[in-house]
Amino acid sequence: MKKIMFVGRSEAGKTTLTQALKNQEIKYEKTQAVNYTDVIIDTPGEYIQTRELGSALAVYAYEADVVGLLIDATEPFSLFPPCITGMCNREVVGIVTKINDKDANVERAKNWLRLAGCKTIFPVDSVTGEGIEALKKHLAQEKVIKNHKNTEKTTL
């Protein structure tokens, strides 16, 4: 399975999504530091919310195969600037969380992720499990490595 790093503001659902992907009991836990598991890097929201900590995300991204930008479907704004995915040399996917919340606006969140540069977007609800299997399936796909001429492909 590809290793994914979750990036998003505090309470966007990064840790809850981690628990759902690992089939663990869903319980609220505030992430105080970068948490590594076998295939998930869960980052504190403060890393994207604080300019001084934001550059650390670039360092942690080198240990991931995929970067997941999370936006809670109830958010009134996005922290991700337009075209931010171009700064990353990893695959970047968008993840819309809390899609079944009564105040959810899934299309608005998807549009923000598209504006940020995400071409692949997964709407999920970690509590009900909706969308989790699609994300797992995407992460289970073989990794593709292009050679220096960008022509031949080798899978791991």
- Region 87-112: what's the mean pLDDT? 95
- Region 86-102: what's the mean pLDDT? 93
* Three-class secondary structure assignment of the chain: CCCEEEECCCCCCHHHHHHHHCCCCCCCCCCCCCEECCCEEECCCHHHHCHHHHHHHHHHHCCCCEEEEEEECCCCCCCCCCCHHHHCCCEEEEEEECCCCCCCCHHHHHHHHHHHCCCCEEECCCCCCCCHHHHHHHHHCCCEEECCCCCCEEEC
Q: Categorize the per-residue pLDDT at 145 as very low, low, confident or very high, splitting at 50, 70 and 90.
A: low
Burial bucket for residue 11 (CB in 10 Å: 0-12, 13-18, 19+)? middle
CATH number of 4-155: 3.40.50.300
- The pLDDT tens digits of the residues spanning 45-80 come to 877 777 767 677 777 787 899 999 999 999 999 999
Whether 150 shows a pLDDT value over 70: the answer reads no
Regarding beta strands 153-155 and 144-146, do their DSSP bridges make them parallel or antiparallel, or are they unpaired?
antiparallel
Q: Would you say 47 and 9 are in contact if contact means Cβ atoms under 8 Å apart?
A: no
Q: What b/e string do you get for 39-57 counting C-beta neighbours within 10 Å, with b at 16 or more?
A: bbbbbbbebbeeeeeeeeb
> Rounded to two decimals, what is the model's pTM?
0.86
- pLDDT given for residue 95 in this prediction: 98
Q: Domain limits of the chain? A: 4-155
What is the C-alpha separation between 45 and 49, in angstroms, rounded? 6
